[in-house]
Structure 1
């Protein structure tokens, strides 16, 4: 039994075809993608969905999973260690001698028990691209172009691998099946096994006149440039998926996907947590005591903030709609302004007199501290 039920993860039957598996993956990935769903556990659920799809969408991995409960094939025997791992009687049991469980199975039954045909279309590999954004670019988004290297379908031969004007022909060794029968002598006698054809490498086709640009592979390296729209409100570490912008597929299969991972620079002025932006601001004692209307910076431009009389240090004020946009058009967050009341480090005589009068009016008996002995001696020499 498999430790993970990939069919249950995607919500499909065990006999579901490729179209049903792909459709289920798309529906569930949209629901749980971290860029869309910020609920606890959504990111882990998305990873499980992606893992299940990577196995069930690959016929070879799916066949191994259906048979052994693992996409990697047999992992053990009777609860013990795997044949290809740390020992059969304390020693490795791999490519030396019999060659592992898959080969033994193939020798007895003439094949690996199913799996993807080597000439079947296969999707290309996914790629990852890191995009650096400023604090402001992440909040408001932007349109840009990016360039990266990828494996693409050969533009000269269209992916056939054959010289223009010619076409691949049916393989003379496997007659188009992609497989050949091979006889091996084993301790149990001569055994027949089915292997991928060593002439056409499983494609079932031979290329007599190879393309001069791709040398028969059907692929060539290219510098690919695409337009990218960065959505407003992205955060550091989030990623965006661009379908079929990755590596070219095999045997006419689709391109893989490109994952753009965002790295957002910090701001010297603001702090951000999701859609909420934080700003620290200093105000004077008079502003805190008497109240005031002041200009406050936001990422959307300056706004007026009313400071009520009697405001204490560390008081917080909310500016609604002045934060970062939420992804998928779910509105805009707020900005939280935290004020700190400044205490002046030096006062002129009028300021001292005013504060003494304030203290007297408040019924306080204040004895001003006039500085250190060193300060008094220094001032005496100045006279």
Structure 2
């Protein structure tokens, strides 16, 4: 048999602890280890140990005897269970705290807010830039129109549960070696609602709610970006017992664009330049989100140079104005040159004639053509 631990050690107090200190420590540990609260395998044993220590140290005569003789005195009668069946060694206060004695209990018939819903919407790149309005179909739980949410057949109404008398809870009383324990749990007769439906609604079968497909009109604001959430208040599932409906959150996913890329309110694109355009300078036409604009390329422009088109970006979602468009130029090196062109290059004349760009740059031209067409 394992040797008993020192009672002061069990309660975590010193030998000079006051009665209040002992009581406070006991209540704390009793709450922690009570089997109805703590489901650990050793919780019940620890609870018994705490109870035994408190029974001794809370009694001045027993405490004095224990301080003198410890666990070995045959006349102490330690571990005898302390108070009678109706006295739980002060633990009744704690049980009231846990199981509702004098404390506030949730009204099972109180209004309850409906659940929020989430819907993921995928839109085109330019729809995110300029916004759009559309209708979506949302499956959601709504109040049954037939019974107005009562769950009862029209002409009837739910009745107060005769088991819990409308409280939604049942009390189970147990007499244990440690006293009288009162457990409270959801009433099994009414499932914690406090009401019993004898004649159920034929539409919702007593649930008070039905699943419906609801069409909802959605406005996507201009400038919305990937991952943004749009909250539609009251468009979630309906509340319970007259409670407010939840909200609908629309999560935005934006498709990528072949020519444009976005970073916040700014737009980025890449355009090709011939060797001659970069060396001699030129004026080229650039597609933007709304139109085509002229861009002047200075002579001697290097590949990778960025040019900014002010105000040609995305409308600012929160604020005024628009971002900018940043144009990166890539110089395409010719691969097919005549002997004359090669000689001219050797002489640094800066001309390349009608040479065809490399194949891997052809995709840049193709994307740019689609952007000009507004695709």
Give the one of 297, 305, 314 matched to 2:295: 305
Match of 2:220 in 1: 230
Give 3-state SS (helix, strand or coil) of 1:277's partner.
Answer: strand
1:143 to 133, 143, 148: 133
CA distance in 2, matches of 1:196, 1:210: 21
Report the aligned-residue RMSD: 3.1
Q: Which runs of 5 or more structure 2 residues have no equivalent in the other structure?
A: 1-28, 47-92, 351-375
Aligned pairs for 1:26-37 (under 5 A) are: none
Contact 2:108-2:167 within 8 A present in 1 as well: no
Counterpart position of 1:124? 114
Report the Cα distance in structure 2 between the residues aligned to 1:108 and 1:286, rounded to whole angstroms.
Answer: 86
Higher Cα Rg, which structure = 2
Contact 1:107–1:191 (8 Å) recurs in 2? no
> Does the CA-based 8 Å contact 1:119-1:202 persist in structure 2?
no
Q: Distance in 2 between matches of 1:142 and 1:206?
A: 48
Cα distance in structure 1, aligned partners of 2:247 and 2:95: 34
* Residue number in structure 2 paired with 1:355: 345
1:275 Cα deviation after fit:
0.9
Between the aligned partners of 2:258 and 2:241, the Cα distance in structure 1 is 52
**Given the alignment, which residue of 193, 198, 204 partners 1:203?**
193
Q: How far apart, CA to CA, are the structure 2 residues paired with 1:127 and 1:215?
A: 24
Name the structure 2 match of 1:59.
Answer: none
SS across alignment from 2:342: helix
Q: CA deviation at 1:226?
A: 0.7
- The residue matched to 1:355 in structure 2 has which SS? helix
Q: Which residue of 2 is the match for residue 218 of structure 1?
A: 208
CA shift digits 1:47-90 (9 cap, x unpaired): xxxxxxxxxxxxxxxxxxxxxxxxxxx9x949xxx934686499
- TM-score normalised by the chain length of structure 2: 0.64
Give structure 1 stretches of 5+ with no counterpart: 1-73, 92-103, 361-383
| Partner Cα distance (1:325, 1:109) in 2 | 56
Distance verdict in 2 for CA 1:254–1:108, change over 3 Å: closer
Q: Which residue of 1 aligns with 2:100?
A: 111
Cα drift, residue 228 of structure 1: 0.9
Tell me how far apart the structure 2 counterparts of residues 125 and 191 of structure 1 sit (CA, whole Å).
Answer: 36
Distance 1:227 1:310 in 2: 53
TM-score (norm 1): 0.63
